[in-house]
Amino acid sequence: MNNNKSSGIWDSKECALILIDFQPGVMSYIRSSDPKLVELNGRYLAKAALAFDIPIILSTVGVKLGANQPTIESLRNEIPDIPEIDRSSMDSWGDKGFVEAVKKTGRKRLVMCGILTEVCLAYPVVNALKEDYEVCFIADASGGASKEAHDMAVLRMIQAGAVPNTTSAMIAEWFRDWSGPLAPAAREVVVPFVKETAMVQDIYSRIEAGQAADARAAEAWAAKKQPAVI
């Protein structure tokens, strides 16, 4: 267990982003949340990392063995130049190529997300902590085989010393200041992220439905106030 408490804000210059097993077959097991939101959040973390010059590590499992497909196309399109580190172990920290890639970043603060939360994310998180890395995991960019499995993995990682966070909060923490040097790049990420999230969550249609209901209620109230015609 890493006994060093997280030292405040996670600055983009200190971090590396690690994306684990965003693969079609693996993602089909997600039952803890909406897989579309997990995919969206992982994709925008990658976009933000590119925009803020944060090193990215992309890992897959079982592709060379023929057991799984490569990274989902939507994420791959965002980071076409990032090589996939394929492995056979469910624990990416047990793969020499993966660990070497982490070390090459020169960063000691790892921001991690992956599928499934309870296996392919939790294992490398606790192992990285044991190796004296600081780890922040992004809960809404990860998914478990059930809500209970995801929640228990979250508790396990926190207990081991990892810092929990969400996609929107992590992106904001990386740049923090709308007048800062990263603000122009942040706007290019945050604005479409908010719009796409609203579309996936069907927020716009609910807002429109609410507005329509309010309008009908106002019309009905106005009609009641009209004096009767004799």
**Active-site amino acid positions:** 120
Cα(138)–Cα(166) distance, integer angstroms = 5
Q: Are strands 163-165 and 134-138 parallel, antiparallel or unpaired?
A: parallel
The three-state secondary structure class of 117 is helix
Q: Which tokens is 84 given? A: 């996939």
Look up tokens 């004096």; give the residue: 227
Sheet strands side by side (includes 109-114): 84-87, 56-61, 15-20, 109-114, 134-138, 163-165
For 142, residues 6+ apart whose C-beta sits below 8 A from its C-beta are 38, 113, 114, 115, 116, 117, 121, 150
